[in-house]
Structure 1
Amino acid sequence: MTSSHKPKKQDLPPTAWAVLGLLSFPGARTGYELKKWADSSLRFFYWSPAISQIYAELRRLEQLGYAASERSGPEETRTKRRYAITPEGREALAGWAADTAEAGPPVLKHGLLLRVWLGHLSDPDRLRAMVAEHQERTRAELASVREAMVHAAEVPEWAFPALALRWSERQHLAELELAEALLADIAALAERPEPGSGPHPGPEVEGPGQGGGDAPTPG
């Protein structure tokens, strides 16, 4: 990467790189098409930008010379603007993708686990119900991931996105296993006596030979 790209690279947020990454695949696309592509790929392992974010980043990328656009032909009922990555944009994106220092550790924000952490304010039945709801959502997401995997397998240029989707499939399967283990943990915790509910030990009684005095002798 040339030195002229470095300031631009440092100024771009992750959303801009994600949008530029969507443009790095063959073909020119509208903002709406980019949003659909993000919803069927990025959201399963990162996040999907809102359509307003996508258009804002497309404008920014054009200003930087990383993307170019052209209006659709008169044969279309509604005039659309299609975007494509430029050679400068591909070079900058390749440099950003190779920068492991910016990748950082994964960030986990698990809403269910935050509520389990506060389980002392709830009851086991409610916690179990929340885990069951989480399992249902996870199964639905898993089905969507697998549908996207089938679609990606049909496009040779999407071989690496297919790898990311396969990872996402494994992650969702692991999430289901973790949820089952969590249900077992909640059940085990519910069977434990609450603090202070067991027998309260009385004062220790000293036996013969204990304490400061001598043991009494029979008279």
Structure 2
Amino acid sequence: MSQDLPVTGYAILGLLTFGDELTGYEVKQRADMTLRFYWVAPAMSQVYTELRRLTDHGLVRGSTSADGGREVTTYAITEAGQRALRTWMDATPAGFPVLKHTVLLRLLVGHATEPDHTRRMLRDYLADLDTALADLTHVRDALRGADAPGEPFRFPSIVADWGLDYFAAEQRHTRRALDSLSEHGTAPEVGPPTA
């Protein structure tokens, strides 16, 4: 039954493993605060589609209550959901990540445009990296105190640290690419990267 789930379904199951019941909106907020740094955060409609699918499979249960005159449904992972997630984690290889790097794709064919456009793209990417680093630093700081071994946010804190290192490395590579593009727009030298 759980084989019918897309990876997003397992991601949502994982977001429900921290001991709290969440509304669909709260699942989306949690996804935006976590998944967006290393995976595609699902759209609101996709969150509700997956929650329905997970509920139909008995992997999540919904509880409806009244809140200020309107019905609110919260979701929690079931024992079957815990087992399905564990089976997916234990029996399915993670696979090698597919890098879809739009900046690198454009840099690859940078000769097809003006050098100033390529440099501007790289500077814009540096600004985006600054924002991502600031956002992820905020998330990482919020995990402090619950990130020790045995604590519920131990693994999310490791992912946040990994993400911070990744964004810092991206900054270094982007600056190196900018440095290699002279103001006269010559192509970067071809050769192995330096450490």
TM-score w.r.t. structure 2 length?
0.88
1:61 and 1:189 map into 2 onto residues whose CA distance is: 56
1:35-54 per-residue CA deviation (whole Å, 9 max, x = no partner) reads 11111111111121111111
The aligned amino acid for 2:61 is: A
Return 5+ residue gaps in structure 1 as ranges.
1-7, 193-219
Relative to structure 1, the CA distance from residue 100 to residue 61 in structure 2 (aligned partners, 3 Å threshold; closer, same or farther) is closer
Secondary structure of the residue aligned to 1:37 is helix
Relative to structure 1, the CA distance from residue 164 to residue 187 in structure 2 (aligned partners, 3 Å threshold; closer, same or farther) is same
| Greater per-residue strand proportion | 2
1:189 and 1:164 map into 2 onto residues whose CA distance is: 40
Work out whether residues 153 and 159 of structure 1, in 8 Å CA contact, stay in contact via their aligned partners in 2: no
The aligned amino acid for 2:169 is: A
1:96 partnered with 2:96: no
Secondary structure of the residue aligned to 1:69 is strand
Aligned-pair RMSD on alpha carbons?
1.7
The aligned amino acid for 1:61 is: L
Aligned partner (choices 175, 179, 184) of residue 174 of structure 2 = 179
Partner residue, 2:5? 12
1:120 partnered with 2:115: no
Partner residue, 1:158? 153
2:104 and 2:139 map into 1 onto residues whose CA distance is: 27
Partner residue, 1:64? 57
2:85 and 2:9 map into 1 onto residues whose CA distance is: 10
Partner residue, 1:25? 18
CA apart distance, 1:100: 4.6
Secondary structure of the residue aligned to 2:22 is coil
Relative to structure 1, the CA distance from residue 178 to residue 159 in structure 2 (aligned partners, 3 Å threshold; closer, same or farther) is same
The aligned amino acid for 2:7 is: P
TM-score w.r.t. structure 1 length?
0.78
Deviates more, 1:54-63 or 1:109-118: 109-118
1:85 partnered with 2:80: no
CA apart distance, 1:153: 2.1
Return 5+ residue gaps in structure 2 as ranges.
188-195
1:102-126 per-residue CA deviation (whole Å, 9 max, x = no partner) reads x111111111111111112112211
1:41 and 1:71 map into 2 onto residues whose CA distance is: 26
Secondary structure of the residue aligned to 1:84 is strand
1:142-201 per-residue CA deviation (whole Å, 9 max, x = no partner) reads 100011111122444212111111110110000000101111222298347xxxxxxxxx
1:191 and 1:165 map into 2 onto residues whose CA distance is: 37
1:189 and 1:181 map into 2 onto residues whose CA distance is: 16
2:34 and 2:58 map into 1 onto residues whose CA distance is: 26
2:5 and 2:157 map into 1 onto residues whose CA distance is: 26
Partner residue, 2:46? 53
Relative to structure 1, the CA distance from residue 164 to residue 154 in structure 2 (aligned partners, 3 Å threshold; closer, same or farther) is same
Partner residue, 1:202? none
User: Percent identity, aligned pairs only?
Assistant: 37
Partner residue, 2:139? 148
